[in-house]
Structure 1
Amino acid sequence: MRICFVVDKFPSLSETFVLDQIAGCLERGMEVGVVCNETTFGKEANVDDRRWKSLPGKVVCWWGWLGRYRPLLRKWSGKSWDKLSTAIDLLYARKLHKADVIVAHFGTNGLRVARVIKRGRISAPLVTVFHGNDVGGPMHDNTLARYRTVFQNGVLQMPVNAFFRDALIEVGAPPDEVVVHHMGVRPGEIEYRWRSWKNETLSFISVCRLTEKKGVEYALRALARLPRDDWHYSVIGAGELLEQLKRLAAELGIAGRVDFLGPRPHAEVKQRLRDAHVFVLPSVSAHNGDLEGIPVALMEAMAAGLTVVSTYHSGIPELIEDGKTGFLAPERDVAALAAKLVWVADNPVLCEPIAIAARRKIETDFNADVLNQQFARIATELAGTRAH
């Protein structure tokens, strides 16, 4: 079976969930290809795996040599961009012809493929996976109905959480064609290790892009309220807010207990997670509408035995049940978040059974091996419906 993934950049360190899904298809004997806007081989060493360079269905840029001009042309807006980009998509649509199933990650890519299908250029069934800003941004702008072309010309919408499913149905997606499909992690590759912080310096950690929706600002403000001072906070990741967050830590008087480590190799990230006690990710709805799906970083932390503290945001409550598998506070509520962190700091013994329950949650509901098997079954069934 030939399955084609349509993505923006490939391979991408910030989209390891795509790589894992592709790996799951390869493990099940599928002929996988990728159509993207830009290849990143040689640019992101952490994901420069030989598997991605030698996919049986190859990795190709949708626009070919014209792809180098896409960022420049993308500065256009509105109908002008839509018409031009669709015309070029149609010109190079033959790259999708051989697929038995097309999987578009992010609604924007699903929309591109749906427009090509609408014009009769390809006939493979289209599955669109909705992740975050592709839903949150249009919800914020009241333009989510733009995906009606996807609903009409695709066969299945796979939002990564129930919050997104409800939003898509509200703007016209047929309910029986919208199936929540969580991203996941492979528990077998993540060692569970509980570390008590009783009589130790309490180690907090965040692993994320330093953007507004990750809420690191609120983590800093909440940590500054801790009555104890025997704690340390490591922030792994880069982003446009890095310098602003460094200044905030200094203003709060906690810069000496906070390390901004930048992006780190995956092996080092795994080791730092093993050495930490509490994973903090107080996600928020960004002012431009950007939302989380369900952060994979939270899943990895839960699988590894850390106590997780996050927020009632998007699909995160589908992963974390407050007081049962982790802790949740309302978005942007520094006092409530600080109260959760204080309780965690004061109760290492009571946090251990919560960490055990969190690991079980990952093994049962967010297990990538199980989810990839479900995905492969759905793709195989859809391939059998292709109109030749």
Structure 2
Amino acid sequence: MSETFVLDQIAGCLEHGMEVGVVCNETTFGKEHNIDDRRWQALPGKVVCWWGSLGRYRPLLRKWSGRLWDKLSTALDLVNAHKLRKADVIVAHFGTNGLRVARVIKRGRISAPLVTIFHGNDVGGPMHDNTLGRYKTVFEEGVLQLPVNAFFSSALIDVGAPPAKVVVHHMGVRPGEIEYRWRSWERDTLSFISVCRLTEKKGIEYALRALAALPRRDWIYSVIGGGELLEELKRLAADLGIADRVTFLGPRPHAEVKQRLRDAHVFVLPSVGARDGDLEGIPVALMEAMAAGLTVVSTYHSGIPELIEDQKTGFLAPERDVAALTGKLSWIAENPKLCEPIALAARKKIEADFNADMLNERFAQMATQLCKMRSPV
């Protein structure tokens, strides 16, 4: 529930006259940082924990049960299957949740058509371990797989997902709610910003190293978000001698994030494949920055090139290539006038291809068709 793309999709379904129930592992995760977000305020009714009072012990049970985890998890999912029975369509965000629902369907406890949306680590991790075929039950019992990029689509088809059941469905943002505002840095201190969880795949280490090598010295860098690498990244900034120009703000309320984006010039997210296989889908944070008029810099990683075309709608460097990333940032620093048409093209790209209003309409049409497939248990 901390993911804005989940909240946006729920909002879109509600706007199209659907009744939405929300079942998840954690019922409040992320809310403390999004309490001012109207999407939280508009959530329909009570958010239900799938395992009820046992939900809080799920991490402990997973650790304790070891190799028996799949059996224990499935048994508890079956006990709580009644929470899904009234649905006309079940939408599982992340392949792992799709697999849980598919196993319940296979055992005849529920009969609603299952749509599984694949986002990132649910594909990247199994690709890394050569276990992507674990989703065989999802492919068999689910009616539709919706990977968020073409890279994931090809990976799922390669391990047995029927091509007719696989449709790329991007996540998106609402351009109408994001003011486009170009700000030149020609006579101003150049302001870089990143908004993300501080995990390996976000590549903030490489942003710091590239900025430390930047010839232009009148810049500042704000990093919004928390995560396990926060203290390590603070130490790296100090070791690189740039701690006085880098501010780690931690998680911030949604309204403050929007304001800080409006005040910045360049959005940096040099994503990488993590050592455990974790991958991006297509980061929504990049979409928000592009819609807002920032110049965006990222990497040739996963589905990101489907969003950003180098030197046309933003800038891309190879993963973990500090010299190449420094080169992109240096060019941007010296060419604000040439970056303005790139930022405008980025906004148009979002309006045309990553517009949540249009994507939600398409999703609602899919759901309406699929609900006709529901059969009684």
Cα deviation for residue 56 of structure 1 reads 4.9
CA distances 1:71-102 after superposition (whole Å, capped 9, x unpaired): 21111466411111101111110111110000
CA distance in 1, matches of 2:178, 2:205: 28
Give the alignment partner of residue 204 of structure 1, picking from 184, 192, 207.
192
SS in 1 for 2:311: coil
User: What is the CA distance between 1:68 and its match in structure 2?
Assistant: 2.5
| Aligned equivalent of 2:318 | 330
- Report the secondary structure of 2:221's partner residue: strand
Task: Give identity over the alignment, percent.
Answer: 84
| Contact 2:65 2:72 (C-alpha < 8 Å) held by counterparts | no
Equivalent residue number for residue 225 of structure 2: 237
| 1:140 matches 2:140 | no
Q: Secondary structure at the match of 1:313?
A: coil
Q: Secondary structure at the match of 2:247?
A: strand
- Check whether the contact 1:187–1:367 (CA below 8 A) recurs between aligned residues: yes
Corresponding residue for 2:18?
A: 30
Cross-structure match for 1:5: none
Tell which deviates more after alignment, 84-93 or 73-82: 73-82
Distance apart, 1:69 and its partner CA:
2.2
Amino acid at match of 1:313: H
Question: Could you list the runs of 5+ residues in structure 2 that have no partner in the other structure?
Answer: none
Aligned partner of 1:121 in structure 2 is: 109
Mark the CA change 1:52 to 1:329 in structure 2 (over 3 Å): closer, same or farther: closer
| Distance change (3 Å), C-alpha of 1:78 and 1:72 | closer
Indicate yes or no: 2:143 matched with 1:155: yes
- Residue deviations 1:134-153 (CA, integer Å, cap 9, x gap): 00011111111000000000
Moved more, 101-110 or 40-49: 40-49
Per mean C-alpha deviation after superposition, the further-off stretch among 61-70 and 71-80 is: 71-80
Equivalent residue, structure 2, for 1:46: 34
**CA–CA distance in 1 between the matches of 2:145 and 2:316?**
28
What's the TM-score, normalizing by structure 2? 0.97
Matched residues in 1 for 2:40 and 2:183: separation?
36
Distance 1:376 1:346, change over 3 A: same
1:343-367 deviation per Cα after TM superposition (whole angstroms, max 9, x unaligned)? 0011101000000000000000000
Tell me the SS of whatever aligns to 1:218: helix
SS of residue in 2 equivalent to 1:302:
helix
Residues 25-83 of structure 1: per-residue CA shift (max 9 Å, x gap):
00111010011112118952514768657755642111122223212111146641111
Aligned to 1:83: 71
1:300 aligns with one of 249, 264, 288: 288
Distance change in 2, residues 1:78/1:164 (3 Å):
farther
1:264 is aligned, of 229, 252, 257, to 252
Give the Å deviation of 1:256: 1.1
**Residue 197 of structure 1: how far off its partner (Å):** 0.6
Report the Cα distance in structure 2 between the residues aligned to 1:48 and 1:198, rounded to whole angstroms: 34
Give the whole-Å Cα distance in 2 for the aligned partners of 1:363 and 1:151. Answer: 32
Aligned partners of 1:183 and 1:368 also within 8 Å? yes
- Cα 1:271–1:116 shift into 2, 3 Å: same
**Which whole-Å CA distance do the structure 1 matches of 2:115 and 2:296 have between them?**
32
> What stretches of structure 1 of length at least 5 have no aligned partner?
1-10
Per mean C-alpha deviation after superposition, the further-off stretch among 330-339 and 64-73 is 64-73
Identify the match of residue 379 of structure 1 among 362, 367, 371: 367
Count of residues in correspondence between the two structures: 376
Aligned to 1:316: 304
Amino acid at match of 1:260: F
* SS, match of residue 167 in structure 2: coil
In 2, the alpha carbon distance for the partners of 1:45 and 1:196 equals 30
TM-score (norm 1): 0.94
Q: Distance in 2 between matches of 1:279 and 1:53?
A: 28
**Among residues 153, 156, 164, which one is paired with 1:168 in the alignment?**
156
- Counterpart of 1:278? 266
Matched, 1:365 2:353: yes
For the structure 1 residues 261 and 136, does the alpha-carbon distance in structure 2 shift closer, same or farther, using more than 3 Å as the test?
A: same
Q: Is the 8 A contact 1:194 1:352 kept in 2?
A: yes
Change (3 A) 1:54 1:64: farther
- Alpha carbons of structure 1 residues 193 and 242: separation in structure 2 relative to 1, 3 Å: same
Q: Give the distance between the partners of 2:36 and 2:193, measured in 1 at CA.
A: 26
Paired amino acid for 2:211: L
Query: Residues 263-310 of structure 1, C-alpha deviation per residue, up to 9 Å, x if partnerless?
Result: 111111111111111000000000011100000000000000000000
Alignment partners' CA distance in 1, 2:7 and 2:37: 10
**2-side partners of 1:355 and 1:55: how far apart?**
33
Aligned match of 2:183 in 187, 192, 195?
195
- Retained in 2: the 8 A contact 1:53–1:59? no
